[in-house]
Amino acid sequence: MFITEQGDGSDVGATTVQAAPGDDGSWALTGNKWFCSNPDPDLAMVLARPVGARAGLGGVALFLLPRLLPDGQPNRYRIVRLKSKLGTRSMASGEIRLDGAFAWLVGDPDAGFRQTTDMVNNSRLSNGVRAAGLMRRAVTEAHFVAERRIAFVTRLADMPLMQRQLMKLRVWAEQARSMMFQTAEALRRSDAGQC
């Protein structure tokens, strides 16, 4: 997703990347995106303002940006730089310069923000589920070690302070998992128009 711009931050309604329609139904995107997750995908979703669109969130549209043009040539955008940030090595984030990049409009040109929030909600839920899963794995590994390690002629799992600590870890992991299931259900109900 290429959403954020340096001048607008989280104010998506201030998007300045411009989208100009082409004669063949495609669009040309021009401008800078400041924080792009996975800046070199085969396809990216990009928020941009069609030329002449109204100000604010209602004038922002969503576009599908391919890395390669239909003829196989590279699209007209480039990675300006990768972000130096803690903790993300397998999927970089970077700054993108769009130089009349070829893209297709996705859905209603006045609904780009709404369409993007659906993607963001699902990606945030995905991040939370992964975190809860990693917490549960850490608890499982802690139990594995505590069951097998002997200290002072006693298994760690039989020591009261270790039992207390393992129980605290289990509670936190279960809380995280429960919160993710409740969040997923709230998103499902919202998508179904039930709330």
What SS3 string covers 97-133? Answer: EEEEEEEEEECCCCCHHHHHHHHHHHHHHHHHHHHHH
Q: Which domain holds residue 102?
A: 2-109
Identify the weakest region by mean pLDDT among 112-116, 165-169, 176-180: 112-116
Rounded distance, CA 184 to CA 34, Å?
Answer: 30
Q: What is the pLDDT of residue 87?
A: 66
pLDDT at position 158 over 90 = yes
What does the mean pLDDT of the chain come to?
90
- pLDDT at site 116: 84
Q: What is the pLDDT of residues 73-89, one digit of tens each?
A: 999 999 888 888 776 66
Phi, psi for 2 (deg, rounded to 5): -110, 95
> Would you say residue 132 has pLDDT above 90?
yes
Alpha-carbon span 103 to 28, nearest angstrom: 6
- Which CATH number do you get for residue 153? 1.20.140.10
For residues 84 and 15, membership in a common domain is answered with yes
On the question of pLDDT at 180 being above 80, the answer is yes
Q: What's the number of CA atoms in the CB half-sphere (13 Å) around residue 25?
A: 3
| Backbone φ and ψ of 131, nearest 5° | -60, -45
Shared domain for 150 and 96, answered yes or no, is no
The answer to whether residues 42 and 130 belong to one domain is no
The predicted structure's pLDDT at residue 86: 72
Residue 123: which residues within 8 A CB-CB, separation 6 or more? 1
Q: Which of 76, 109, 142 is the last residue of a domain?
A: 109
19-53 confidence digits (pLDDT tens): 999 999 999 999 999 888 888 889 999 999 999 98
Q: Are residues 53 and 125 in the same domain?
A: no
CA 176 – CA 26 distance, rounded (Å): 44
* Whole-number pLDDT of residue 88: 63
Domain match, 91 and 128 both: no
How far is residue 162's CA from residue 52's CA, in Å, rounded to a whole number?
A: 65
Mean pLDDT value across residues 166-185: 95
